[in-house]
Amino acid sequence: MAQDIRKMMRDNEPTKTKLSEGHEARFADKLKANFPQKNKKPTFFWLKIAAAIVAFAAIGYVGYQNFKGETAIDPEFANVEEALDNQEPAITLGDLSPDLKKVEEFYLAGIEVQLASLPSNGDNKELIDGYLKRLEQLNKEYQQLNKELNEVGPTEATITALVDNLKLRLELLFKLKNKLKELKQLENEQFTEMDA
């Protein structure tokens, strides 16, 4: 029963059907009745032109700032750039394996989130400063371990010490947050006792 579709299409004569008289007008009337045209708000032609001009001016200004030939380098940062250029490419914990990269990113993100969410006011400033000094010491140790990783090469002891350092920093921030909660609860209890 297989038939050649090309032959069938060549031999096919389309049938022309004629719509009844007035069909199109009746259909248009029904459309207007069911879907009335809403009043269009006046277009803000001049406002659109002004917005386009502002957009082009902003793009032009940003382009000019990015592509102009002169770039002023702060002398303080010039020394840092030279030092970075002189260094060999550093190996980090994340460069060793994808799993270690995930671990490092997890802990570093957790540390950043915890640091960003620390409430600081005059009452708890000393406590926070003490913990931040300890975090700074741990950060220096982490940099030393990274330096060792680059000089000696990856060893199990170095990798474990790097991960433990990250873990310790995150735990230290959790302890700080718990201490701050305890202090806040203690202050609330003392305030409640004073009111009673």
Domain boundaries, the chain: 92-195
Q: What percent of the chain has pLDDT over 70?
A: 78
| In the predicted structure, residue 71 carries a pLDDT above the cut 50 | no
Question: Which backbone phi and psi does 71 adopt, to 5 degrees?
Answer: -130, 120
pLDDT tens digit sequence for 75-107: 544 454 454 445 555 777 677 788 888 888 888
**pTM of the prediction?**
0.50
CA distances from 32 to 5, 21, 169 (A): 42, 19, 70
* Mean pLDDT computed over every residue of the chain: 77
Assign residue 88 a region (left: φ > 0; alpha: ψ between -120 and 50; beta: otherwise): beta
Cα separation, 165 vs 175, in Å, equals 15
